[in-house]
Chain A
Amino acid sequence: MERRAAAEIILGLGIAALGAFILYETQAIRVIPIYAKVGPKDIPILVGVILALLGLALAWQGWRAKPAPRLDPPAVMDAPGSKLDAPGTGGDTTDWIPLAAIAIGLIQQILLFEFLGFVPTAAILFFCVAFGFGSRRYLRDVLIAIALSIVAYVGFVHALGLHLPAGILSGVL
């Protein structure tokens, strides 16, 4: 089976499951009798039902897809900042190492943010992302990562008055 069709089936079933979960969760919404006519439950039920149907439609579309050559038009409505996603540019090759590097950068920040503070975790994130995008000039990246994180911290906390955890550097910055 074609990869795109398989993806549509899996995604479609996942979306249908999300719709079902929403329907299940609407049971937890309390409805006061005076609002019973059109209360806080009705629209969520409608959204859940339609989402589940749309998911099933996507899975059905993937199931019925013919293994024909891909003739998809370029995705017109891409996110701002996207590169042209034209067919034939190697769109099906996914490089997993960069994804893992960026994910590690984000997860370490979630886990260590309040303990280590903004500056160290942001610097590690920057380094992970640069590595993920193929940079191998480690010394340059580390220096820029540290400099940028310190400048961002000082600028946002002292100039703009936002609150960021100082962590292990509290008292220094």
Chain B
Amino acid sequence: MGALIDGFATALTFANLGWCVLGVTLGTAIGILPGIGPALTIALLLPVTAHLDPTGAFIMFAGLYYGAMYGSSTTSILLNTPGESGSIITAIEGNLMARQGRGAAALATAAIGSFVAGTIGTVLLTVLAPLVVKVALKFGPAEYFALMVLAFTTVSGLLGSSRLRGMISLFLGLVIGLVGTDSLTGQARFALGRPELLDGIDITVVAVGLFAVGEALYVASRVDLRTAEIIPVKGSLWMTREEWGRSWKPWLRGSFLGFPFGALPAGGTEIPTFLSYFLEKKLAKRPEEFGKGAIEGVAGPEAANNSAVAGVLVPLLTLGLPTSATAAILLAAFQQYGLQPGPLLFTNPGTSTLVWGLIASLYLGNFMLLLLNLPLVGMWVRLLSIPTPLLYGGILVFATLGVYSYNQSVFDLGLLLVFGIVGYVMRRFDFPVAPAIIGMILGPLAEENFRRALSITQGDYTVFVTHPISAVLLAIALLIVVAPFLMRLRQRRRPVSA
């Protein structure tokens, strides 16, 4: 508790409040603009923020991450375009509400629900983080390696339309992570004789290539995606008594549903939003309204989405384990400052002010976002009227600018084109992109812990199964990979009936 109060003292300084305002404002804007998400924006900001004070930079990044979630719900409701995968449900149900002239109520329940869930999620983060830190302090390299293997299997196995495609994406990320100088022996690996590759490939190049360039190529290649219809906001932003009555329970249920999915390495925000939608449909007094614009179907999933985002911060800050693409890029941002997220981030007096300042700024940021997104929503909606050709033109100009300025290297622009084409092919043939980003960041850390664990035991591989925590984590990971195959075998053996 005392740590959090100190955190507020850090977050409430004039400069850090300024970074928070900048982060949430920028986050809302990029959440609203189709074609850019928080992962891409933070990746692009890495070169610009390299010389900033780390506390201010992370307060801005966190505001940006939260803000993008608020902004993307606006776009989903008015444009039927989910800004990121957690708002797919909102893009369906909220857009239906908007088409019926209840767009303002949908925006209001999404914004207030995001505030409620974001605050509950942040409270849970505040309470849980010190507890996880206590456990994590006992972790050695074997446990960390097992934890990372578990994260690999969940991000590639539980998400996306095909497990095989998720695994391929993950391994492409691992390959990218291998390029460069081996951290333990200093040997060059896969540099192909290019000095530019000796330092490895920067996350900025990969993320911008896969997300911005790949996305631009894909959207441009599809006539049906190039135009979208904006539905004007109708109705009152002040929800009626009935709308409040129908919203508050889904907000709370969504908050508690979303958080564990973000916090466990079960990865991502989309599963809890789908679960929340089906739960609300089951509990609703008028389930027949679902699929035609039911307010519960916006309130619940939006809350689940936002509290999952808060949940993602628990493993990221306490264990250094990213479970989403944005979290992976945040981890890269920590590394840029020479900080390694994990229990020591909380116990080391130098960095504990940073991390608690960051957590305190989440409370403030949530409050600012409610103000930014509810009374001022009309201003943000105007961003949607930027013509798509100009929007993507601008995105690619800033994408190439950011990538070049990181190393002042034209070689990186060439790599950007390569990863842009890879990103296009992945989008075109339904490969999820997030596992590649996570694999690229987490792969080198997993390898380091694997080899550390083995060098401690003089090459004895049983260390991974004799340590109980490591053994349990690896068993769960194995189960996630193997279980679907076993189930399919059982189904096949059963005779086909009717």
Q: Which positions in A face B, CB cutoff 8 Å?
A: 4, 7-8, 11, 15, 18, 22, 25, 29-32, 35, 37-40, 43-44, 47, 50-51, 54-55, 57-58, 61, 72-85, 89-91, 93-96, 98-99, 101-103, 105-107, 109-110, 113-114, 118, 122, 125-127, 129-135, 141, 144-145, 148-149, 152, 156, 160-164
Contacts and interface: CB of A to CB of B under 8 A. Distances in A.
Nearest to B86: A80
A81 B189 contact: no
A29 B190 CA distance: 8
B427 A134 contact: no
Interface of chain A, main secondary structure:
helix
B63 to A, nearest CB: 17
A94 B39 CA distance: 27
For the complex of A and B, list the 7 residue pairs with the smallest distance between their C-beta atoms, beginning with the closest.
A80-B37, A135-B389, A133-B389, A98-B220, A77-B432, A130-B389, A126-B393
A129 B216 contact: yes
Interface stretch (B12-20, B164-172, B239-247): B164-172
Contacts of B51: 161
Contacts of A148: 393-394, 397
Contacts of A54: 164, 167-168, 171
A18 B418 CA distance: 15
A162 B168 contact: no
B335 interface: no
Nearest to B435: A77
B337 interface: no
Contact of A76 (B36, B161, B172, B459): B161
B437 to A, nearest CB: 10
Contacts of B190: 22, 25, 44
B217 interface: yes
B405 A156 contact: yes
Nearest to B414: A110
A8 B167 CA distance: 15
A47 B34 CA distance: 35
A145 B220 contact: no
B378 to A, nearest CB: 23
Interface in B248-280: 268, 270
Contacts of A76: 85, 88, 159-161, 270
Contacts of B408: 163
Interface of B: 34-40, 47-48, 51, 80-85, 88, 91, 159-161, 164-168, 171-172, 174-175, 178, 182, 184-185, 187-190, 192, 210-211, 213-226, 228, 268, 270, 325-326, 387-390, 392-394, 396-398, 400-401, 404-405, 408, 410, 413-414, 416-417, 420, 423-425, 427-430, 432-434, 443, 447, 450-451, 454-455, 458-459
Contacts, number: 258
B164 A57 contact: yes
Contacts of A122: 397, 400-401
Contacts of B404: 113, 118, 164
Given A11-B425, A30-B187, A54-B171, A80 B325 contact: yes
Nearest to B36: A81
A170 to B, nearest CB: 15
Contact of A81 (B215, B220, B401, B450): B215
A62 B81 CA distance: 31
Given A38-B455, A133-B389, A141-B390, A106 B427 contact: no
A26 to B, nearest CB: 8
Highest count of chain A CB atoms <10 Å: which of B166, B210, B217, B430: B430
The residue among B192, B398, B404 with the most chain A CB atoms within 10 A of its own CB is: B404
Given A43-B447, A76-B161, A109 B413 contact: yes
B443 to A, nearest CB: 8
Nearest to B165: A58
A122 B168 CA distance: 34
Contact of B397 (A72, A75, A126): A126
